[in-house]
Amino acid sequence: MSILDLIPAPVRPWAVALVLLSIAGAGAAGSWVIQDWRYGNALAEQARQSADLARTAAEATVGALVIEQDKRLALEQRLKDNDESHYRKFSDAQRAQQRLSDRFATADVRLSVLICADSAGGCSVPAATGAGILDHAAVRARLDPAHAQRIIGITDIGDRGLIALQACQAYVRDVTR
């Protein structure tokens, strides 16, 4: 007696179909598992390669950032040195102006201007000059201390402007380097 004899006759074709479908399903499920395994390995390899590529790119980016940071720190140091140098020049000029202003205030020094000896014909300058003579013995007039203070103030502003201009030019040179 066989197994088919145990199955009733009207159900036998369905049983055979069910067994064949089970065998086909098992084959399909097995191939599905094998494909899943193959594609899983391929995807894992692809993910590993992608991670390696991302790590390499990240390392290159970090290296470039470190280089740029070093450049920025060097530039900041140069600018700091330049600022200190220009501040020193500026403060020296301020102290010199303050000393000169104090000397004018105490009448220790007086500003004077050259005036013409001959008001009708202009200033006369001798044709032959001797060594060591700067103003050819011309007559000088002393300025009022208040006017001298104003003149010194104007020249101080000019000195400050020149120092600031030099600082700006040095900054631009350093930045464009």
Sign of the dihedral defined by the CA atoms of residues 56, 57, 63, 66, in that order: negative
Q: How far apart are CA 24 and CA 146, in angstroms?
A: 115
Predicted local confidence at residue 117, as pLDDT = 56
**132 secondary structure, DSSP code:** T
Report whether pLDDT(120) > 50: no
Compute the distance between CA of residue 35 and CA of residue 24 in angstroms, rounded to an integer.
16
**Average per-residue pLDDT for the chain:** 81
- Between vectors from CA 39 to CA 36 and to CA 42, what angle results, nearest 5°? 150
Q: Which residues contact 141 (CB under 8 A, 6 or more apart)?
A: 112, 113, 115
| pLDDT class of 124 with cuts at 50, 70, 90 | low
For residue 152, is pLDDT > 50? yes
Q: For residue 111, what are its two tokens? A: 């500003």
Q: Quick one: average pLDDT of 93-97?
A: 82
CA of residue 140 relative to chain centroid, distance: 55
Average pLDDT, stretch 104-115? 70
In whole angstroms, give the CA distance from residue 83 to residue 168.
10
Q: What is the average pLDDT across 76-83?
A: 88
Task: Please state the φ and ψ torsions of residue 114, each to the nearest 5 degrees.
Answer: -75, 135
Cα–Cα distance for residue pair 165/157, rounded to 1 Å: 12
Q: What is the pLDDT of residue 73?
A: 94
Low-confidence winner among 105-114, 124-133, 147-156 (lowest mean pLDDT)? 124-133
**pLDDT band per the 50, 70, 90 thresholds, residue 154:** confident
Helix (H) or strand (E) holding 141: strand 140-142
pLDDT at 111 over 90: no
Model pLDDT for residues 20-72, shown as the tens digit of each residue: 999 999 999 999 999 999 999 999 999 999 999 999 999 999 999 999 999 99
Name which residue leads in pLDDT, 32 or 133. 32
